[in-house]
Amino acid sequence: MFSLFRENLRIAFDAIRSQLLRTILTVVIIAIGITALVAILSLVKALENTISSDFSSMGSNTFNIQRYEFTTQRRGSGETQKINPTIRYTQVKNFEDRYTFPMTHVAVSFTGTTSAEVKYENLDTDPEVTVLGTNENFLENSGLELDQGRNFNQFDINNNNNVCILGSDFKNGLLKNVDPIDKTISIRGTKFKVIGTLEEKGSTFGNSQDLRVLIPIQIARSMFTAPNINYTLSVKVDDKELLDGALDEAIITFRNVRKLAPVEENDFGIGRSDDLINQISQISGYLSMAAWIISMITVLGSSIALMNIMLVSVTERTREIGVRKALGAKKSIIAGQFLMETIIIGQFGGILGILLGISIGLLISSVANFNFTTPWMAMLSATAITIIVAIIAGLFPAIKAAKLDPIESLRYE
């Protein structure tokens, strides 16, 4: 049995070599469909990993009160987008004073600028540093971890101490080869003592999460006085079982701060990391479906091409089939021979498509700073698809070859 399989395998490879050009074209067509499937699924998974890791760090027991929901406001024909008012500092302070839900920690923050220049001694950075004004709970509520030093304490915030926490990029740039703790930097002429540095967060869509400086919120308010600054509230609940109650209480409290009537809708958004991750998963599902549709259309074309090449092969090798039947080859052996050829060609296309798809996914992920992971499911799916396509495409030619009359086949020229 094994010797027969080995003989069929040798004949299949000999036949493939004798029709090398057509085989290469068919392999390429199959590979294109598999490449599209693997590349798109790899990128979808990498994008999902990147965004999920960014927001999951916020924690499942944390929620934000912000200007808008995570979902994008969609505008139909004649429909105007609802514009929520900015969240002002007086409102966040009012919320802090009123919100007394047990076992909760409220963080207040705002982005002062995204184009600051930071100086240290006679060195300075490019004007692309983000400066955030925060209170002492911001790090914990945002899921940020310290690499060195300490966090802000209540004394720093209440006394407006000129201290700061740096993102990890500063250790490889402005403060390279220098212990940053207790060093003095300057932002817009104001000097700050470095009390801590953050662990690396990476970047999303080319925007670095590590090139930022955190400073006490009151000092930030005195430095950045642009109109309509929008503040964000973040609430962390120590006991996850109390999250829903804390969220309801926060909504009621902030509605009162906004002076909304009972019949009015919320003019602010509530952001929970798990809500966003669920939305990302839903969008990823649609993208994956699109990848399957695109690849299936291409694979359909390749299966037709594979069937055609095998039908031509049957016609060209009619005399060979007659000789093998005359020597005692059964129909199942003849059919198995041609079916094996199609499976081998299909697997060549699948392997090439998987390699190209992973390479494209890895390349784009590297450029876009996505968290690329090996797409095992896409690879297994691609392998299964090529086997199924090969069997379906090779079945008809194999049956046709098996049914050939040996007498007529020997007469064929």
Query: Does residue 286 form part of some domain?
Result: yes
Shared-domain flag, residues 99 and 240: yes
Q: Is the pLDDT of residue 40 over 70?
A: yes
Is the confidence at residue 252, as pLDDT, over 90? yes
**Predicted confidence (pLDDT) at residue 58 exceeds the cutoff of 70:** no
Mean pLDDT of the chain: 82
Domain boundary among 247, 267, 287: 267
pLDDT band (50, 70, 90) for residue 72? very low
pLDDT tens per residue, range 207-229: 667 899 999 999 999 999 888 89
Domain membership of residue 115 (yes or no) is yes
Nearest by Cα to 192 from 173, 211, 210, 215: 215
219 vs 278: which has the higher pLDDT:
219
Same domain, 401 and 305: yes
Is 24 a member of any domain? yes
Q: Please check whether residues 388 and 300 belong to one and the same domain.
A: yes
- Per the confidence metrics, is the pTM higher than 0.85? no
**Residues 332, 261 share a domain:** no
Over range 25-38, report the average pLDDT.
82
Residues 166 and 242 in one domain: yes
pLDDT higher than 50, residue 75: no
Residue 130 and residue 256 in one domain: yes
- Domain contains 359: yes
| The last residue of a domain, from among 227, 246, 267 | 267
Do 209 and 248 lie in a common domain?
yes
Residue 207 lies in a domain: yes
Residue 4: pLDDT band by 50, 70, 90 thresholds?
Answer: low
- 108 domain-assigned: yes
Q: Which domain holds residue 347?
A: 2-54+278-411
Whether 338 is in a domain gets the answer: yes
- Residues paired with residue 329 on neighbouring β-strands, in sequence order: none
Does residue 205 register a pLDDT over 70? no
* 192 and 303 housed in the same domain: no
Same domain, 237 and 288: no
Higher pLDDT: 144 or 368? It is: 144
Instruction: Assess if residue 70 is contained within a domain.
Output: no
Residues 341, 251 share a domain: no
Lowest mean pLDDT among 117-126, 186-195, 401-410: 401-410
Mean pLDDT for 250-255 is 94
Q: Place 155 in a pLDDT band, splitting at 50, 70 and 90.
A: very high
Q: How confident is the model at residue 55 (pLDDT cuts 50, 70, 90)?
A: low
C-beta neighbour count of 72 within 10 angstroms: 9
H, E, C per residue of the chain? CHHHHHHHHHHHHHHHHHCHHHHHHHHHHHHHHHHHHHHHHHHHHHHHHHHHHHHHCCCCCEEEEECCCCCCCCCCCCCCCCCCCCCCHHHHHHHHHHCCCCCEEEEEEEEEEEEECEEECCEECCCCEEEEEECCCHHHHHCCCEEEECCCCHHHHHCCCCEEEECHHHHHCCCCCCCCCCCEEEECCEEEEEEEEECCCCEECCEECCCEEEEEHHHHHHHCCCCCCCCEEEEEECCHHHHHHHHHHHHHHHHHHHCCCCCCCCCCEEEEHHHHHHHHHHHHHHHHHHHHHHHHHHHHHHHHHHHHHHHHHHHHCHHHHHHHHHCCCCHHHHHHHHHHHHHHHHHHHHHHHHHHHHHHHHHHHHHHCCCCCCCHHHHHHHHHHHHHHHHHHHHHHHHHHHHCCHHHHHHCC
Q: What is the pLDDT of residue 346?
A: 82
Assess contact for 214 and 168: CB atoms under 8 A. no
Radius of gyration of the chain (CA): 32
- pLDDT of 241 reads 87
Residues 126, 258 share a domain: yes
Higher pLDDT, 232 or 388: 232
Integer angstrom CA distances of residue 5 from 12, 90, 232, 333, 336: 10, 81, 69, 9, 9
Dump pLDDT digits (tens) for 344-365. Answer: 888 888 889 889 989 988 888 8
State how many domains the chain has: 2
Domain end point (choices 233, 267, 301): 267
**Same domain (yes/no): 256, 304:** no
pLDDT above 90: percentage of residues in the chain? 32
Which pLDDT does position 73 carry in this prediction?
47
Question: Rounded mean pLDDT of 187-192?
Answer: 94
Instruction: Pull the structure tokens for residue 208.
Output: 């670095």
